[in-house]
Amino acid sequence: MNGTQNDVSDWWKTDIIDMVPGEIRLRGHPIEELIGNVTFPQMIWLMTRGDIPSKAQAELLECALVAAVDHGPQAPSIAASRMAVTCGLGLNGAMASAINMLDDIHGGAGEQAVELYSWIDNAVQAGQTLETAVPEMIDRWQTECTKFVPGFGHRFHKPVDPRAPRLLGLVDEAALAGTVSGRYAEIGRAIQHMLNTRKGKPVPMNIDGATAVIYAELGFAGPLARGLFCLSRSVGIIAHAWEQMNQGGRNKGPTPPSYRWTYSGPSPIDPKGD
Amino acid sequence: MNGTQNDVSDWWKTDIIDMVPGEIRLRGHPIEELIGNVTFPQMIWLMTRGDIPSKAQAELLECALVAAVDHGPQAPSIAASRMAVTCGLGLNGAMASAINMLDDIHGGAGEQAVELYSWIDNAVQAGQTLETAVPEMIDRWQTECTKFVPGFGHRFHKPVDPRAPRLLGLVDEAALAGTVSGRYAEIGRAIQHMLNTRKGKPVPMNIDGATAVIYAELGFAGPLARGLFCLSRSVGIIAHAWEQMNQGGRNKGPTPPSYRWTYSGPSPIDPKGD
Amino acid sequence: MNGTQNDVSDWWKTDIIDMVPGEIRLRGHPIEELIGNVTFPQMIWLMTRGDIPSKAQAELLECALVAAVDHGPQAPSIAASRMAVTCGLGLNGAMASAINMLDDIHGGAGEQAVELYSWIDNAVQAGQTLETAVPEMIDRWQTECTKFVPGFGHRFHKPVDPRAPRLLGLVDEAALAGTVSGRYAEIGRAIQHMLNTRKGKPVPMNIDGATAVIYAELGFAGPLARGLFCLSRSVGIIAHAWEQMNQGGRNKGPTPPSYRWTYSGPSPIDPKGD
Amino acid sequence: MNGTQNDVSDWWKTDIIDMVPGEIRLRGHPIEELIGNVTFPQMIWLMTRGDIPSKAQAELLECALVAAVDHGPQAPSIAASRMAVTCGLGLNGAMASAINMLDDIHGGAGEQAVELYSWIDNAVQAGQTLETAVPEMIDRWQTECTKFVPGFGHRFHKPVDPRAPRLLGLVDEAALAGTVSGRYAEIGRAIQHMLNTRKGKPVPMNIDGATAVIYAELGFAGPLARGLFCLSRSVGIIAHAWEQMNQGGRNKGPTPPSYRWTYSGPSPIDPKGD
């Protein structure tokens, strides 16, 4: 709001949105010129980064958004969204409880993978070979961060997560077309090669690792990679919550009501009476 | 998971996703065939409804998703997302606290507008004229639900919310092309005409009312209209949270720290000492 | 903050807390006089209502808070809190995702029960007999609200929820001592009698119905009954989240990983390959 | 649930709660024996740790719970809870959005302070003097963690947070009575002395630092210190949300509607028209 600047207005300073009655501009663009002229992925890029991406850039982003929408009711976030609506929440509340869970372990791997890739890329840009940078940075990651190499390994999809080769293939096409450099696809494949060799078995690049390649190729910062994963997974969260609403149910627990938990503490109840 | 059906698996029955190691199908479509071939709006539709929409349908949905991404830091949800990251939350946590607030009053108007429009449409389909159905159903809404007519009126954008005419124009184009019927645009305009007349001043169709026209035209149920609004507004929530992360700040409150609140209770502190 | 009043400060007007540097007053009481001198239940009452309750009133409130702390991992909120920490969330985040689920169906029954009881009490205060007021108001509830009579019935604890008779007994003692009137215990028992007769089988008063008797006896408004239930259940949510942290696990789903969900949609994957 | 153990039940194994129809035991104690016989703070201890504390231990815990209930509407969590109810959320939803924000920066300082204190205590138990252990561990904290020494410093309460000396005095009394060792109060005071000297001005122990002394004296693990802070602050969150419900308001933003934010991006709107 230019013209009314003071300390209270300045407390909420933003480059993102400007408004007067009857006018809205996002990143400087009148909203009515954006509606109908930019795609939703272009809008996501514009809002988070400030510029409108090319069609080719936006299409590669779109592939990452399409790929990560769901992983089924065994995923804690999806289970939570389905349970939430049976407690009386609307879709906004179900999304809140569920998206909250996409934290460091469940949804943060993409953010971490972008960071790991950039360590390796920085080393290579500084003159190191990819062959030495990959194991060095993985060792550093496992020393400084966690033993889990982010973006690789899957407890279910073995030996291959079907999304990863498809996404990498699309990055290759985009690199051929000059849309992206292809450096991060190379880094991702080098990590996979090294992990397979070290472990003596396939350690498949998973959805976090594959979408992180795209986010890094397109220049998204790590925290945004997490945010965009949350946005993508929100689609599955909404779909499952809505399906559960239609299935009905009240206070749906994690297992059928006839199953109980195992009590492992002191003074268990003697079901025959005590 | 076919082949392993039992009561535990059946507790989490779904039409949305099927998996075996190395294979994922969403609504019956292999994930690798969807990636790169459907747009993100088509994927949103597929996941929530089960079928892949035409390009024209998906483009109209895309307009609604693009239009509602942000309304600035005065919106409680956007303020919450910015405050949240200064408390230490990542983007997933900021989204959770913020999206949760898109409830009946803040984000639920779209769901309510779809419902109101459908009351009117049902009356018209049953033979009533639009001229009589609109005031009758508005009266019924104000009696049975709330005095607020959902989707109309804006405390800031007067006399016109710039998003509404743009979106209705795109619905008109889609109706001409045969993509949608145009019935809900007609209903929306009839409500606006009636409210303007009753109030003797413009009561502009707002973003909830305009996107609800699109959701109703495309056949989305009311609760999904709320969910899709949340998905769209998530983009602004992410963008603002990320901007705030870059601005820094710790424990950002609603007003600058030099401002305090007004205490209106008993035994106020005498600042000169008591 | 007296002395600095203006429109910005007034926007956050409150009777609850007053501060200057070095001084904090809650509801007019200096914080250092409250610490060590009031119990936690007295503090809860003071903060939500403005006055410090008698020891006897606070002890009855305490019984309700103690009674509702947990209902085990089959409750969706408890399951959610345990899953949440395995996704990387701290206890604050686990509490958020879990407490959010204590909505109309899962935790809102206490609020509804307080409302139903007050309908009946109002009728009796207006001269109706309890015998006619109970069925009339139950019928009205089932017509206007839902078929579920809030606070009664339990899918697991049959024929008696062990918490209900214990809590009602403590209300009886408090009524004898003149702490409360005992009217709502009478109403609760009358509802139970009527439901047992109508159904021809025990419809036990559950934890929501029993704590609602206490909240109503003590004069808490319905929405606060829900809030206090959430506060009480938070204890179980914290305990389970902390136990899960110590058990470990990553991305804990609702059922063991070897169980999958049942896919009921089109084009199921043929596990033998298609 | 003994008697029905299998892999599904074992997936939700717990020491906390045991149930059969008509019977509930928490940590081995029948619920009806706990109700009316243990205080709410004793119940909190029992649920999180497994044993029933002495009256004296529970009273010291109670002081920490009473002390931290509120810090006014300038705190982001309290502001969020007030905004949330004006968006249509009930108290459970307002609590969720607000408690979520009590993360590393806003509410996690207590957890960090417990950890810092225990570093120092471990060093002293291993034979180091308090005089050398305090600066060494503070330096280590500032190197390995953050420059912010958790639990000390306050942007508003200077030179003294009124809650800290009161709480430390109660710890001294408990140490004299043999309830606790008093070691952590000594550590807290030593940190304060060192910080005052280093900075050449008072760096007051704040509510997080003071309650962390109590939590550490009583043997609570760091993550539980955060959880208990969240439980305590929930009281203020409920009180403010309820007050806001009664004040009314729809879509309450952070500042009065007449204030807008400062737009600092490209192509600002020219309010005179462009």
Do residues A47 and A26 lie in contact, with contact meaning Cβ atoms separated by under 8 Å?
yes
Q: Tell which wins on pLDDT, D109 or A233.
A: A233
Q: Kindly indicate the confidence band of residue B155, based on its pLDDT and cuts at 50, 70 and 90.
A: confident
For C8, nearest residue in chain A (alpha carbons): A8
- In whole angstroms, give the CA distance from residue D174 to residue A105: 41
Of C22, C70, C259, the CB nearest to D162: C22
pLDDT the model gives residue B104: 92
Tens of pLDDT along D207-261? 999 999 999 999 999 999 999 999 999 999 999 999 999 999 999 999 999 899 9
Tens of pLDDT along B174-231? 999 999 999 999 999 999 999 999 999 989 999 999 999 999 999 999 999 999 999 9
Please give, rounded to a whole number of angstroms, the shortest distance from the CA of A106 to a CA of chain B. 11
Lowest mean pLDDT among A196-205, C28-37, C261-270: A196-205
Tens of pLDDT along C35-51? 999 999 999 999 999 99
pLDDT the model gives residue B274: 52
Q: Kindly indicate the confidence band of residue D1, based on its pLDDT and cuts at 50, 70 and 90.
A: very low
Tens of pLDDT along D17-40? 999 999 999 999 999 999 999 999
What string of H, E and C letters represents the secondary structure of chain D? CCCCCCHHHHCCCECCEEEECCEEEECCEEHHHHCCCCCHHHHHHHHHHCCCCCHHHHHHHHHHHHHCCCCCCCCHHHHHHHHHHHCCCCHHHHHHHHHHCCCCCCCCHHHHHHHHHHHHHHHHHCCCCHHHHHHHHHHHHHHHCCCCCCCECCCCCCCCCCHHHHHHHHHHHHHHCCCCCCHHHHHHHHHHHHHHHHHCCCCCECHHHHHHHHHHHCCCCHHHHHHHHHHHHHHHHHHHHHHHHHHCCCCCCCCCCCCCCCECCCCCCCCCCC
How many angstroms separate the first and last alpha carbons of chain C?
72
pLDDT beyond 70 at C32 = yes
Residue A159: is the preceding peptide bond cis (ω within 30°)? yes
C-alpha distances (whole Å) from A60 to each of A174, B258, C27 are 8, 46, 57
Structure tokens that stand for C95 in this block: 């509490």
For D253, nearest residue in chain A (alpha carbons): A12
Tens of pLDDT along D130-153? 999 999 999 999 999 989 999 998
| Range(s) within chain C of domains with CATH label 1.10.230.10 | 109-226
Please give, rounded to a whole number of angstroms, the shortest distance from the CA of D73 to a CA of chain A. 16
Of A11, A17, A263, the CB nearest to D18: A263
Q: What is the mean pLDDT of chain A?
A: 94
- Interacting residues of D101 by C-beta distance below 8 A, sequence separation 6+: B83, B84, B87, B89, B97, C92, D76, D77, D80, D107
Neighbours of chain B (3+ CB pairs under 8 A): A, C, D
At residue A219, the 3 state secondary structure works out as: coil
Please, is A129 exposed, middle or buried when counting C-beta atoms within 10 Å of its C-beta (0-12, 13-18, 19+)? Answer: exposed
Interface touch B253/D76, C-beta < 8 Å: yes
Q: Kindly indicate the confidence band of residue C65, based on its pLDDT and cuts at 50, 70 and 90.
A: very high
- In whole angstroms, give the CA distance from residue A184 to residue A117: 7
Region of D16 on the Ramachandran plot (φ > 0 left; ψ -120 to 50 alpha; else beta) = alpha
Question: Which residues is D23 bridged to in the sheet?
Answer: D20
Domain C109-226: CATH architecture, name and number where available: Orthogonal Bundle (1.10)
Please state the rounded mean pLDDT for residues A60-89: 97
Of A100, A251, A261, the CB nearest to C76: A251
pLDDT the model gives residue D254: 98
Of A8, A105, A156, the CB nearest to C86: A105
pLDDT beyond 60 at B232 = yes
Q: What is the pTM of this model?
A: 0.96
Q: Kindly indicate the confidence band of residue D154, based on its pLDDT and cuts at 50, 70 and 90.
A: confident
Q: Kindly indicate the confidence band of residue D273, based on its pLDDT and cuts at 50, 70 and 90.
A: low
Neighbours of chain A (3+ CB pairs under 8 A): B, C, D
Please state the rounded mean pLDDT for residues C17-25: 96
**Mutation target vs C (from B10, B12, B263; most C CBs, 10 A cutoff):** B263
- In whole angstroms, give the CA distance from residue A36 to residue B156: 24
- In whole angstroms, give the CA distance from residue A65 to residue A53: 15
pLDDT the model gives residue B191: 97
Of A100, A254, A263, the CB nearest to D2: A263
pLDDT the model gives residue A169: 98
Interface touch A262/D5, C-beta < 8 Å: yes
Residue B257: is the preceding peptide bond cis (ω within 30°)? no
Tens of pLDDT along B132-142? 999 999 999 99
pLDDT the model gives residue A4: 44
Tens of pLDDT along D65-106? 999 999 999 999 999 999 999 999 999 999 999 999 999 998
Of C38, C71, C167, the CB nearest to D35: C167
Task: Please state, as a whole number, how many other Cβ atoms lie within 10 Å of the Cβ of residue D45.
Answer: 25
**Mutation target vs A (from D7, D20, D269; most A CBs, 10 A cutoff):** D269
Please state the rounded mean pLDDT for residues D49-67: 98
- In whole angstroms, give the CA distance from residue B263 to residue C67: 35
pLDDT beyond 80 at C18 = yes
Residue D159: is the preceding peptide bond cis (ω within 30°)? yes
At residue B152, the 3 state secondary structure works out as: strand
pLDDT the model gives residue B65: 98
Q: Kindly indicate the confidence band of residue A192, based on its pLDDT and cuts at 50, 70 and 90.
A: very high
Helix axes C183-199, C207-217, angle to 10 degrees: 150
Report chain A residues touching chain D, CB-CB < 8 A. Answer: 1-5, 8-20, 23, 25, 27-29, 50, 89, 93, 96-97, 100, 254-255, 259-269, 271
For D107, nearest residue in chain B (alpha carbons): B87
Question: Which residues is C26 bridged to in the sheet?
Answer: C17, C29
pLDDT the model gives residue D274: 53
- In whole angstroms, give the CA distance from residue B123 to residue D61: 62
Interface touch A266/D23, C-beta < 8 Å: no
Of A9, A50, A263, the CB nearest to D259: A9
For D97, nearest residue in chain B (alpha carbons): B97
Which residues on B lie below 8 Å from D162 (Cβ)?
none
In chain C, % of residues over pLDDT 90: 88
Interface touch D14/A260, C-beta < 8 Å: no
Neighbours of chain D (3+ CB pairs under 8 A): A, B, C
Tens of pLDDT along C138-147? 999 999 998 9
Please state the rounded mean pLDDT for residues B107-112: 89
For B79, nearest residue in chain D (alpha carbons): D254
Of D15, D254, D261, the CB nearest to A265: D15
Q: What is the dihedral of CA A92, A96, A99, A103, to 10 degrees?
A: 170
Interface touch D22/C107, C-beta < 8 Å: no
Q: Kindly indicate the confidence band of residue C271, based on its pLDDT and cuts at 50, 70 and 90.
A: confident
Which residues on C lie below 8 Å from B96 (Cβ)?
96-97
Which residues on D lie below 8 Å from A267 (Cβ)?
18, 25, 28-29
Region of D234 on the Ramachandran plot (φ > 0 left; ψ -120 to 50 alpha; else beta) = alpha
Structure tokens that stand for B6 in this block: 């039992």
**Mutation target vs D (from C29, C99, C167, C170; most D CBs, 10 A cutoff):** C99
pLDDT the model gives residue D107: 79
pLDDT the model gives residue A159: 86
